[in-house]
Structure 1
Amino acid sequence: MNLPRLTYPLYLLALSSIILTACNQPPAGGAANAGGMPAMPPPEVAVVTVQAQTVPVRFEYAAQVAGSREAEIRARVTGILLKRHYNDGQTVQAGQTLFSLDNAPYEVALAAAEAQLANAQARLSQAERNLARIKPLWEQKVVAQREYDDAVSAQQIAQADIKTAQAQIKQAKLNLSYTRVDAPISGIVGRAQKTEGTLVSGTDILLATITQINPAHVYFGLPDAEQQKNRHLAATGRFKLPPQGQYVANIKLSDGSLYPHAGRLDFTDMAVNPNTGTIEARAALPNPESQLKPGQFVRVVLNGAQRVDALVVPQRAVIEGPAGKMVMLVTKDNKIEPRPVKVGEWATINGTEAWVIDSGLQAGERVLVDGLFKAMPGTVVKPVDAASVAKATTPPNAAAPSTH
């Protein structure tokens, strides 16, 4: 966000110009000088009176866009890549076939498994017939117990062989189906990593990547110090979280424009990154036009929180001094006094960008917002309410054109 700031050297240069000009001016108070010229009146400056109020605040952070889901496309079996069924960058649906491998070896394997099943079924039929012959003889004590036991065991082994053959057929069919590499999720498929004719050795080879970007995820870091401050303010009733703690997330693009779709903060990590002192957070936003791209750098703005009994001044009233931010105070005797301040969050009051002042000001004090170059510290000024000045200088609304 571009903030209206005044650098301290520029401010000193302006004050020096005022001092040089003042050397050629008669003393204030209306007395005439030797040439009969009247004294200059105090310069008129616009001020705001600081009042405690409840204001909506926003937080802005650097962020990076990522897909909400991402899947690596890998073959589950080994084979020669025969065909690719999509174009790079194409949107695909879950279950859509992306690649085809040579399936001839797997068709042969399936046929062999089916033959093994037929063989096992034949052995089972033979074992059942043999048991049917031996059982009456065993009941009449004509054959030995061992022969009967062998016949029963042969039947059981044949039954087990059938189950094994059936499992081999199932595995062969599964391997045959794996020669079609399908999309596990819907999304945009990236550039193919392998071309037709390549030997794909199973899951070791990455074929492509699918990214789902609607909704899009935006990742950023929440400063831990800021979070602790907000928790302290909330405990004392001076900070209100949004309903259910769900901040509304807006995105500023790299050109400064506002992304048209708002989202929600949907994840905040529990751990603090020791290298950055931040807590990872994520916002989810609809992305129907695919305007947000994975890897894109943006700025995320979180809205929905409120500061209670906060002191707020327009952003243009805050300038940069050698020791940090400061404002120009208009004292009770209408003199300019520089005052260092500590700023907090950004806020928007009646369409005006503002700073929340954490320390340095008291309710009822007057802060200069316009006319900074007309005054220097210690100068007597004529303060005018900024709202009255803005109202007086706003041109009347143009009359609506008549219709015929």
Structure 2
Amino acid sequence: MHDFLSMPAGRARFLRLAGAAMVALGLAACGGEESQAQQGGGQQQRPPIPVDVMSVDPHRVSVFSEYPGRVEGQRTVQVLARVEGVLLERHYTEGQIVEKGDLLYNIDPKPFQATVNQRKAELGSARASLNQAQRQWSRTRQLYEADAISEAERDQALSELETARAAVDQAQANLDSAEIDLGYTTVNAPLTGVTSLREIDEGALVSNGTRLTTITQLDPVKVLFALPENDAIARGKALSAMGDETTNDKTREATIILPDGSEFPVKGVVDFTQSTINPDTGTVQLRATVDNPDNGLMPGRYVRARIRLETRENGIVVPEQAVSDGNQGTQVYVVADGKAKAVDVDLGPTVEEGRLINDGLSAGDRVITSGLGQVTPDAPVKVKSDGSGGSEEGTRGGGGGSGMGRAGSEDDDGGLAAADLPALRLTPREPLTAVVHDDTYAVNGQRNR
């Protein structure tokens, strides 16, 4: 003991740390053996796999599908010149929305006004001739009744009266025709819609049939799309089975999907279904009419139309992630007697809730919806309960730390009772490290440097 006390401070410190290191290595070896024993025991018994499940509940399911389509105006009208003349003025801006009756063009009216004046004069002359024929007929009839003239003279006067009446009718018709042509010199919008680019410039000579512009009606619009043969037949059968419900708005409803994936806010109505299948494409043409108050659907735009194909009264739907590929085809896992059981299923179309199952599942089956990456046939599973928590690893970690503290507090032999052991990292996963916070140590109750 005297020799130890007479040692230099550096050598005493070395012996102190060496002793602590030997204690730590012994504890680390014991901890490693315990960890290996625990791992060996885990390999012998596979723990149940925690999974989520859903119970099969048959219910009414609507099957929808989407089809590409193209927007067309409700009506597209080519505005044509109806008379020949010089185009004087255009009264609209290209691409502008015009209302029905708005003035679009003026064609030089002077030649047509002159024709109207001429026809009016002809009508006046014909009426004057008619008046003369009526007076002549009145005198002739009186003379004939007095046996003053022959029957032939009477017939002549009557023929002249009838001819004068016909001349008046013809002159009136000529005047009406001239006035119609004069009216054609002002070109008005035949419907409300958007105008196209002009087809001809002002000052040009136009003739009957010259196209001036095109107007497309934007509200409402039509969406034309086609159904494959099988879908069209399925929809036809479903509508036939529904009977009176085919007049229901929901049955004929069409949702328009825009190119960015969003839904157009106004629903359309399927108002036409072609009665024959196109032999070239094998499809059936449908048309949906959609109100377009803000002109959000432009003619020529490509969209998708979502319609209801059928409704199943006792449909079974599972989440998409519950379906996997098996040896015999598609399958799902159900929980039976605490184990995972693979069940082959016949898949139907995709619906909003997931995937429709045609055959393979029954009401009350508990379908596994999570943890499928670890699930195998007949593997033990444990259905996770709501609100469960806690971590077993955290508990084990706390116990390890306490054990190390107790081990470090042992051994006061050789004057090392006050060694700074809490600063040692003694877990089996980390290297031995000593951190000396102070050069002071105790020997026989005395503090030394």
The answer to whether the superposition gives a TM-score over 0.5 is yes
- Bigger mean CA deviation after superposition, 279-288 or 98-107: 279-288
User: After superposition, where does 1:57-136 map in structure 2 within 5 Å?
Assistant: 57-136=63-142
Paired letter, 2:372: L
Q: Distance in 2 between matches of 1:93 and 1:117?
A: 37
Larger radius of gyration: 2
Which residue of 182, 193, 208 corresponds with 2:199?
193
1:219 aligned partner: 224
Q: Match of 1:382?
A: 381
Cα distance, 1:234–1:65 mapped onto 2, change above 3 Å = closer
- TM-score normalised by L of structure 1: 0.75
Q: TM-score scaled by structure 2?
A: 0.68
Deviations 1:41-65 (A, max 9, x none): 2433333333322234433222222
Who is 1:14 aligned against? none
Contact 2:268/2:288, CA 8 A, preserved across alignment: yes
Change (3 A) 1:235 1:64: closer
Which amino acid in 1 is paired with 2:381? K
2:370 is matched with 370
CA distance in 1, matches of 2:294, 2:154: 76
Match of 1:250 in 2: 255
Equivalent residues in 2 for 1:1-400, closer than 5 Å: 36-39=40-43, 40-203=46-209, 205-230=210-235, 243=248, 246-302=251-307, 306-318=311-323, 326-330=330-334, 332=336, 334-335=339-340, 337=342, 339=344, 341-347=346-352, 353-375=353-375, 377-378=376-377, 380-382=379-381, 384=383
Residue aligned with 1:273, SS: coil
Relative to structure 1, the CA distance from residue 169 to residue 206 in structure 2 (aligned partners, 3 Å threshold; closer, same or farther) is same
Percent identical among aligned pairs is 34
Q: Distance in 1 between matches of 2:388 and 2:206?
A: 77
Shift of 1:134: 4.0
**Contact persistence 2:234–2:309 (CA under 8 A):** no
CA RMSD of aligned residues (A): 3.3
Relative to its length, the structure with more helix (as a share) is 2
CA pair 338-78 structure 1, distance change in 2 beyond 3 A: farther
Between the aligned partners of 1:79 and 1:368, the Cα distance in structure 2 is 80
Which stretches in structure 2 are left out of the alignment for 5+ residues?
Answer: 1-35, 390-449
Structure 1 Cα separation of the partners of residues 232 and 341 of structure 2? 36
Distance 1:378 1:122 in 2: 110
Structure with the bigger RCO (C-alpha within 8 Å, sep 6+) is 1
The answer (yes or no) to whether the contact 2:238–2:310 under 8 Å persists in 1 is no
The 8 Å contact of residues 248 and 304 in structure 1, kept in 2 or not, is answered as no
Of stretches 225-234 and 98-107 in structure 1, the one that deviates more from structure 2 is 225-234
C-alpha change, 1:130 and 1:339, in structure 2 (3 Å) is: same
Distance 2:159 2:247 in 1: 74
Per-residue CA deviations over 1:247-304 (Å, capped at 9, x if unaligned) read 3322221111122222333332322222333322222222221111111111222359
Q: Deviation per CA, 1:20-42: give whole Å up to 9, x if none.
A: xxxxxxxxxxxx98973512524
Q: Give the C-alpha shift of residue 189 in structure 1.
A: 1.9
C-alpha distance in 1 between matches for 2:179 and 2:326: 76
Distance 1:381 1:267, change over 3 A: farther
Higher fraction of strand: 1
Amino acid at match of 1:55: V
Deviations 1:150-201 (A, max 9, x none): 2221121111101100111111111111121221211222222222123322
Change (3 A) 1:233 1:296: closer
Tell me by how many angstroms 1:245 deviates.
6.5
Distance in 2 between residues matched to 1:173 and 1:336, nearest whole Å: 88
CA distance in 1, matches of 2:173, 2:377: 95
Query: How many residues were matched structurally?
Result: 349
Inter-CA distance 252–230: structure 2 relative to 1 (3 Å threshold): closer
Moved more, 213-222 or 152-161: 213-222
Any conservation in 2 of the 1:128–1:155 contact (CA below 8 Å)?
Answer: yes
